[in-house]
């Protein structure tokens, strides 16, 4: 009986060690540095402030590259697979596709003043709001953005 209990204990310890290893690897995969590097490069390529990209990622997925939304949206930027068949949980691919889409949204959205066009990333480019600054999504993104750039900074018109 003692040998049996020792075997179970060793198996439990082994499982805990393996699980801990995979948790460490998952955390390393989604390191803020890796996300930030991808956001910086994608933002520079598409002319979108990387701090805004990071704010959108914070609001969309809370920096969880494995996030899945209520309508099947995937990854850091919460891209819908029916519009982005290649949308994946890969950090760089998801950010690059999401930021490229942000650039298209910025051009097509009816809201051009300040950064109110980000409401269209969440609600679609044909959606027009009487007061986009009252939109909850816009407020959440702007709060995250201002936290990133500093409380005294003004939102840039990109």
Integer Cα distance of 40 and 47 in angstroms: 10
Domain match, 127 and 94 both: yes
* Total residue count of the chain as it appears in this document: 158
Q: What is the pLDDT of residue 12?
A: 45
Domain match, 9 and 38 both: no
Q: Which parts of the chain sit beneath pLDDT 50?
A: 5, 7, 9-19, 21-28, 151-152, 155, 157-158
Q: Is 52 within the bounds of a domain? A: yes
Q: Which residues pair with 68 in a beta bridge?
A: 74
Domain match, 15 and 57 both: no
Q: What is the pLDDT of residue 117?
A: 85
Q: What is the pLDDT of residue 3?
A: 59
**How many domains, the chain?**
2
Longest CA–CA span in the chain (Å) reads: 74
Q: What is the pLDDT of residue 148?
A: 92
Q: What is the pLDDT of residue 43?
A: 97
Alpha helices in 74-115 (DSSP H): 91-108
Q: What is the pLDDT of residue 135?
A: 83
Q: Is 156 within the bounds of a domain? A: no
Q: What is the pLDDT of residue 123?
A: 77
| Helix then strand then coil, % of the chain, to nearest 5 | 60, 0, 35
Range of the domain at 45: 31-149
Closest Cα partner for 117 from 99, 136, 134, 138? 138
Q: What is the pLDDT of residue 6?
A: 55
């Amino acid at each position: 009986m003692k040998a049996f209990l020792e075997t179970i204990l060793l198996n439990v310890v082994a499982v805990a060690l393996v699980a801990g290893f995979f948790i460490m690897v998952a955390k390393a995969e989604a390191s803020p540095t890796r996300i930030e590097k991808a956001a910086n490069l994608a933002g520079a390529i598409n002319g979108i402030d990387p701090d805004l990209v990071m704010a959108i990622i914070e609001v969309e997925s809370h920096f969880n590259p494995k996030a899945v939304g209520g309508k099947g949206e995937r990854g850091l930027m919460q891209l819908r697979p029916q519009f982005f068949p290649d949308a994946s949980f890969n950090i760089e691919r998801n950010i690059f596709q999401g930021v490229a889409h942000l650039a298209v949204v910025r051009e097509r959205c009816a809201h051009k003043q300040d950064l109110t066009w980000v409401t269209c990333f969440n609600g679609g480019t044909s959606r027009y709001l009487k007061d986009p600054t009252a939109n909850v999504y816009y407020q959440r993104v702007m709060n995250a953005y201002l936290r990133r750039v500093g409380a005294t900074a003004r939102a840039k018109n990109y």
